[in-house]
Amino acid sequence: MKPFNFYVESGLVRQGSKDPGESKAMIGRASKRLEYVRSQSITEDNSSFLFEDIYEIMRECIHCLMAANGYKPYSHEATVAFLEEYYKSYFGEKLIEAFNRYRIIGNNIMYRANSINRDVI
């Protein structure tokens, strides 16, 4: 993974003003999505879709942190680099590595039409 500064310098993350309003809106959206996911029964037919939603919840929460710090990402990899740069001591390396694995799995579901079985969730 490239350092967070790479994404800022290459324009894949924009730096601006801290935006608590955007942060609040994003965390609200993530909360609603979490309520939806929790209301679903996991089946073989919907497991890939629920996985995508779970990854999206995590990504929205990280975007919330980024907005609160004045950053707007245009790359999913940049969100991982942001966590490593600013929140590694809080979340820990294993959790950040897990999020990166989920990013890759989600990407494979979305862009390669891969599916996962319900045991992954």
CB contact set of 73 (below 8 Å; sequence gap of 6+): 7, 12, 13, 63, 66, 79, 82
What integer pLDDT is reported at residue 90 of this predicted model?
Answer: 95
What integer pLDDT is reported at residue 7 of this predicted model?
Answer: 97
What integer pLDDT is reported at residue 1 of this predicted model?
Answer: 82
What integer pLDDT is reported at residue 107 of this predicted model?
Answer: 85
Residue with tokens 């989600």: 106
CB atoms inside a 10 Å sphere around CB 58:
18
DSSP H helices in 3-115: 4-9, 20-38, 47-68, 76-86, 88-91, 93-112
Give the tokens for residue 28.
């609200």
Is the C-alpha dihedral spanning 65, 112, 48, 88 positive or negative?
Answer: negative
Q: Which residues lie across from 71 on neighbouring strands?
A: 15
Domain residues for 57? 4-120
Ranges of residues in the chain with a pLDDT under 70 are 118-121
